[in-house]
Amino acid sequence: MSDQYTFQNPVTQYRTEGFEPQPQEGPGLASELGPTPDHGESTYRGTGRLAGRKALVTGADSGIGRAATIAFAREGADVVLNYLPEEQQDADQVAQLVRDAGRKAVLAPGDLTDEAFARSLVRTAVDELGGIDLIANVAGKQQHVEDVADLTSAQFEETVRTNLNALFWIVQEAVPHLPPGSTVVNTSSVQGYQPSPNLVDYATTKSGIIALSKALAQQLAPKGIRVNVVAPGPVWTPLQVAGGQPDEAMPQFGQSTPIGRAAQPAELAPAYVFLASPESSYVVGEVLNVNGGMPTP
């Protein structure tokens, strides 16, 4: 059987001709996506790169956050998993995979747009894991709106609160607890450089995450805390079918990248592991683009 460690052509690996439209309500569920995404469940192999680490992952239930969580656990980390209460069934599956890897999974459902809740995640990690030394901010909100006249203030503010404020609240709360060697990995997007006309609010936040991360990275580096960013291209996750793209865009989703297809979440996990682990010790304020070959600055 071939997997992501098999020497093979990345063009034909995970090849699809796009996806059937399959709209979902709310944040969406990975368990309802067809085809079933690959988050590395049956393939990711750990090599001890995060042994004993204490991680907080937001958006851990599905998509890229789920792939990162599985990888972190198999690399030896205990994990606090944040997600929305509606996503409990996805989160339960991920928690089981973390436990199967012999690590501790702490379920912490709740809404990141609530400042008190977002900040409380740090306390949860400190209390339940005995500390915190790795944060992967992966949660994000993306809702396409074709005409700026229809982009409500409520949506604009919710996108900014979810994608930017929550990240700031969590990191600010965590800094006093983060020992030297700790790592923060934030999640931008190719949208941060190449904004789509129908993602005005979302693209703005994804650009903002890069600036915020590069500023913080310089501030925290002298304390031995490294901040970096992963910037994915098109990835097969619930975000896209739950309002992230128009339904009619799904057949072409990912097809225009140089690799000619969308990514599976499993292809993002190694980027998070690399930036989280001590092997990237001299990588600070960097953006690791995992986007199928779209040029970035």
Q: Which residues are catalytic?
A: 202
Q: Which of 37, 27, 246, 40 is nearest to 140 (CA)?
A: 27
Q: What is the token pair recorded at 213? A: 């991360």
238 binds ligand NAD (CB under 6 A): yes
4 or 142: whose CB is closer to ligand NAD? 142
**Residue among 46, 63, 76, 243 that touches ligand NAD (CB under 6 A):** 63
Report which secondary-structure segment, H or E, holds 125. Answer: helix 115-129
Q: Give the residues across from 56 on adjacent strands.
A: 80, 135
Residue type, 293: G
Q: Looking at residue 80, what DSSP letter applies?
A: E
Contact between residue 73 and residue 79 where contact means Cβ atoms under 8 Å apart: yes
113 binds, among Mg ion, ligand NAD, none (CB under 5 to 8 A by kind): ligand NAD
Spell 174-190 as b/e; 16+ CB within 10 A means b.
bbeebeeebbbbbbbbb
Question: Residues 145 to 164: which contact ligand NAD by CB under 6 A?
Answer: 162
232 binds, among Mg ion, ligand NAD, none (CB under 5 to 8 A by kind): ligand NAD
**Residue among 87, 173, 201, 267 that touches Mg ion (CB under 5 A):** 87
84 binds ligand NAD (CB under 6 A): yes
Q: What is the token pair recorded at 275? A: 């930036």
Least Å from the CB of residue 295 to ligand NAD? 16
Binding-site ranges for Mg ion (CB under 5 A):
27, 61-62, 87
Binding-site ranges for ligand NAD (CB under 6 A):
27-28, 58-59, 61-65, 83-84, 87, 111-113, 138-142, 162, 187, 189, 232, 234-235, 237-240
